[in-house]
Amino acid sequence: MIARTIKPELPLSKFVDSIYCYFGTTNGMRHHLIPDGKTDLLLNFGSAIQVLDESNKKSALKESIFHGLRKKQYTFEFGENLGIIGIRFLPLGFSSLFKYREKEITEMPVSAELIAGKSVREIEEKIFEEPSLRKKLSIVEKWLLDIFINSDRTNRKISDSLDELNYSRGLLKINEIGKSDAAYKKLQRAFNEYIGISPKLYSRMLRFDCIHNELRKSPGVDWMDIVAKYNFHDQSHLIKEFKFFTNITPTEFLSNIDIFV
């Protein structure tokens, strides 16, 4: 199976975390999606995909979909043949490029055409006809840039706050952004209005995403070093955070890290 991920450059990097693709045979591969504060667009090229919720109830996907900001872990189960290109939007990235706010897109899949209109079908046809994977991804980037050029910009205050949180990897205390009780409450309202979660929960998602990426890159792990580096009270606090986002312990997570995204 071919798997590739690219990180867009400015100006798209302010709105899009990554563009990724999977093409080939999967043998029933499963991916567990960790809540990360992001919204995904999956362009589906004939793939059979099942979404499993916490009770393992399945919902079949046969079209391109938007998958909204997740507050709980979800599982994607892929059929034998897989062909998808995904776009992972940063918070406010989705609402900056399209006319809907993040909080309006549910955790369960929504038809991409309902959100982005006929341009989704047009871009799918262009991608399908292009044999080169590199050029397929370039087509997606150009499409997003065209949307960016014609889009409105969103709330500047919350955008600046997101930049601060992202830069700190979720380690910055929320009250250090607000500076005052009034500013803090305004920031909370803005997050709930645009994104649909609190700034504190988003900060926790950011921190856990950073831990996930670090564990992927490191051949060994010192859990007490993770505790200190990411401002946990103790190892028990770290374990609770892992169970909150993945339903399993840090050791179990590390043993199965390849199936978590």
DSSP 38-107: -EEEEEESS--EEEE-TT--EEEE-S-EEE---SS-EEEEE-SEEEEEEEEEPTTHHHHHSSS-GGGS-S
Q: Which CATH architecture has domain 2-149?
A: Sandwich (2.60)
Predicted pLDDT of residue 154: 54
Distance between CA atoms of 254 and 212, rounded to whole angstroms?
Answer: 9
Looking at the predicted structure, is the pLDDT value of residue 88 above 90?
A: yes
User: Which tens digits make up the pLDDT trace of 142-199?
Assistant: 999 988 887 765 556 677 778 888 888 888 887 777 666 777 787 888 888 888 888 8
The CATH number assigned to the domain with range 156-259 reads: 1.10.10.60
234 pLDDT tier (thresholds 50, 70, 90):
very high
The whole-chain average pLDDT of the chain stands at 87
Predicted pLDDT of residue 67: 86
Q: Do domains 2-149 and 156-259 have the same CATH topology?
A: no
Which is more confident, 140 or 148? 140
179: phi > 0 → left, psi -120 to 50 → alpha, else beta; which? Answer: left
- Name the pTM for this structure: 0.86
- Domain residue ranges of the chain, discontinuous segments joined by +: 2-149, 156-259
Q: Residue 41: name the closest of 171, 188, 147, 159 by CA.
A: 147
User: Which tens digits make up the pLDDT trace of 115-127?
Assistant: 999 999 999 999 9
- Give the CA count within 13 Å in the CB-facing half-sphere of 73: 21
Phi, psi values for residue 22, rounded to 5°:
-135, 125
Predicted pLDDT of residue 62: 82
